[in-house]
């Protein structure tokens, strides 16, 4: 039996009819057409479906959409400035320093990194690695990803 | 099949829903286990009962010990000051070994306990003589040692739900340790072991418990190994022989490892768990 829920995604309120067993990732992609959120392993292991719920990184493939009722959700589409199209410093850095190869893990990496930098604007390399521990990159670009997060952190702190 | 979604606001309401739907109902808290296993294990489910609003997220200490609510997240358990004190610290150390923060945030204590004994937390809870409160129209309290009955199976009746985990108080100079071997971070462990020891005034072991998980079903309480430790100074030699005694058992062979490999790793896991427990017990007040 479908349940009507309210989701606030990237600042925009959506009313969606969902089946109780639908994952948030499925609803975001198939019902709200926000395909930036990637479904890879579909069991919480890879982190590519990471979105932020009330600022916390969450595996949206595990999260039932009904359990996200009324919550503030940020997907990769809402990471930059949605009005001006300006990218988030993390996105800028990932592009500039090639923090990706195939790009499938990127949305999850960006959002997990954003959650880290929101809490800890000056993380050490170990802290970045720890935070990204649940995000797998099948191309193995970890070194550059970590570097990008550190550079973006510096930029956001007002460095170069 | 259409599925209904129910959100009870009190424990009594949840229990009466369970009573009504029985096997057709699935209890949901974090959802870590349900979502990926829906097709495989829950295809017959007709009702989802969300117990997130029952106020079951708590860790309370009193004169009898600790009470942990079923929907307490693994992160809350790991970071709790009460848990990070003394012998209970083994629970935080066990959860810490789930390396993905998102899983620790979503996963709940009740979920880990109900999912199966093939995960880590139940093994550490068993080492601490945990009991579970099974709520239904007639509630009962059961030792976790009796709760697990086989592979992915528990003594939970269709009209019951786990609402609380209770831990006793332990005497001073008690320590506990946990160790596991696994293929990858998202797979079930190959072998996990937890141990608890209490030292008497003379420094000799006065109480001990060793629990082994994933080596056969349900988990094994290695009484033979524990008995060996009682009344002894826990030196390297005695810990090694307890580990060898624990490993002297028939282990399952599955896709993760052979029975022989499991036997070898029981030795290592028990030795490490006992060493951690002993170190903690020595330092304990």
A93 in the same domain as A61: no
Task: Let me know whether A99 and A52 are in one domain.
Answer: no
Using one digit for the tens of pLDDT, what is the confidence trace for A55-64?
999 999 999 9
Residue in A2, A21, A116, A135 to test binding to B, most B beta-carbons within 10 Å = A21
φ, ψ at B160 (rounded to 5°): -115, 155
A3 dihedral zone (left: phi>0; alpha: psi -120 to 50; beta): beta
Architecture of the structural domain at B59-168:
2-Layer Sandwich (3.30)
Mean of per-residue pLDDT scores for chain B: 94
**B2 CA: distance to closest CA in chain A (Å):** 5
Asked if A9 has any chain B CB less than 8 Å from its own CB, the reply is no
| CATH C-level class of B174-283 | alpha beta
Following CA atoms A113, A115, A117, A118 in sequence, which dihedral angle do they give, to the nearest 10 degrees?
Answer: 160
Tokens describing residue B206: 């006065």
Q: Are residues A95 and A130 in the same domain?
A: yes
Q: Are B46 and B1 in contact (CB under 8 A)?
A: yes
Task: Tell me whether residue A84 is exposed, middle or buried, using C-beta atoms within 10 angstroms of its C-beta: 0 to 12, 13 to 18, 19 or more.
Answer: exposed
Asked whether residue A84 is domain-assigned, the answer is no
Domain spanning B4-50 has what CATH number? 3.30.43.10
Number of helical (H) and strand (E) elements in chain B, helices listed first: 11, 14
- Is A61 within 8 Å of B35 when comparing Cβ atoms? yes
* Claim to verify: residue A17 and residue A68 sit in the same structural domain: yes
| Chain B touched by A60 (CB under 8 Å) | no
Q: Which residue has the tokens 């935080």?
A: B92
Q: Domain range holding A39?
A: 3-77
Task: List the strands of the sheet with B4-6, edge to edge.
Answer: B4-6, B47-50, B25-28
Domain boundaries, chain B: 4-50, 59-168, 174-283
User: What span, in angstroms and rounded, lies between the C-alpha atoms of B21 and A37?
Assistant: 35
A72 and A105 inside one domain: no
Residue B55 CB coordination number (10 Å):
12
CATH number of the CATH domain containing A62: 3.10.20.30
Domain-terminating residue out of A27, A54, A77? A77
| Residue A56 contacts B, CB cutoff 8 Å | yes
pTM: 0.93
The CATH number covering residue A106 comes to: 1.10.150.120
Among residues A77, A111, A133, which one ends one of the domains? A77
pLDDT in tens, A82-127: 889 899 999 999 999 999 999 999 999 999 999 999 999 999 999 9
Distance (Å, whole) CA A80 – CA A76: 8
- Among A54, A77, A100, where does a domain finish? A77
Judged by DSSP in three states, A113 sits in: helix
**pLDDT digit string, tens, across residues B46-72:** 999 999 999 999 999 999 999 999 999
């Amino acid at each position: 039996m479908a349940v009507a829920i309210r989701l606030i995604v990237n600042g925009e309120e959506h009313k969606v009819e969902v089946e109780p067993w639908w994952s948030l990732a499925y609803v975001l992609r198939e019902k709200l057409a926000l395909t930036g959120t990637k479904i890879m392993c579909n069991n919480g292991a890879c982190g590519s479906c990471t979105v932020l719920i009330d600022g916390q990184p969450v595996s949206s493939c595990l999260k039932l959409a009904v359990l996200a009722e009324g919550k503030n959700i940020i997907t990769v589409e809402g990471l930059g400035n949605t009005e001006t199209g300006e990218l988030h410093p993390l996105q800028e850095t990932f592009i500039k320093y090639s923090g990706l190869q195939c790009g499938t893990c990127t949305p999850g990496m960006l959002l997990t990194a954003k959650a880290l930098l929101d809490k800890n604007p000056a993380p050490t390399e170990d802290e970045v690695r720890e935070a990204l521990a649940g995000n797998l990159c099948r191309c193995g670009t970890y070194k550059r990803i970590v570097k990008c997060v550190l550079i973006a952190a510096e930029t956001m702190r007002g460095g170069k | 099949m259409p599925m209904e979604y129910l959100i009870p606001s009190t424990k009594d309401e949840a229990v009466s829903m369970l009573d009504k739907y029985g096997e057709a109902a699935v209890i949901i808290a974090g959802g870590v286990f349900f979502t990926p296993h829906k097709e495989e294990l829950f295809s017959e489910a007709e009702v989802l009962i969300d117990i997130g609003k029952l106020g079951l997220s708590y860790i309370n200490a009193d004169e009898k010990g600790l009470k942990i609510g079923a929907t307490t997240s693994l992160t809350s358990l790991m970071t709790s000051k009460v848990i990070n004190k003394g012998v209970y610290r083994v629970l935080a150390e066990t959860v810490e070994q789930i390396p993905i923060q998102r899983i620790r945030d979503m996963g709940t204590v009740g979920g880990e306990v109900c999912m199966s004994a093939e995960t880590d937390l139940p093994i550490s809870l068993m080492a601490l003589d945990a009991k579970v409160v099974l709520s239904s129209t007639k509630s009962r309290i059961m030792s976790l040692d009796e709760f697990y009955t086989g592979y992915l199976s528990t003594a939970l009746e269709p009209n019951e739900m786990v609402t609380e985990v209770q831990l006793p108080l332990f005497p001073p100079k008690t320590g506990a340790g946990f160790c596991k071997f696994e293929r990858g971070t998202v797979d079930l462990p190959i072998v996990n072991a937890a141990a608890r020891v209490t030292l008497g005034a003379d420094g000799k072991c006065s109480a001990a418990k060793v629990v082994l998980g994933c080596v056969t079903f349900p988990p094994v309480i290695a009484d033979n190994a524990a008995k060996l430790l009682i009344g002894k100074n826990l030196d390297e030699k005695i810990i090694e022989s307890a580990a060898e005694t624990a490993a002297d058992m028939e282990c399952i062979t599955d896709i993760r490892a052979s029975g022989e490999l499991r036997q070898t790793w029981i030795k290592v896991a028990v030795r490490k768990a006992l060493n951690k427990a002993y170190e903690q017990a020595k330092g304990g007040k």
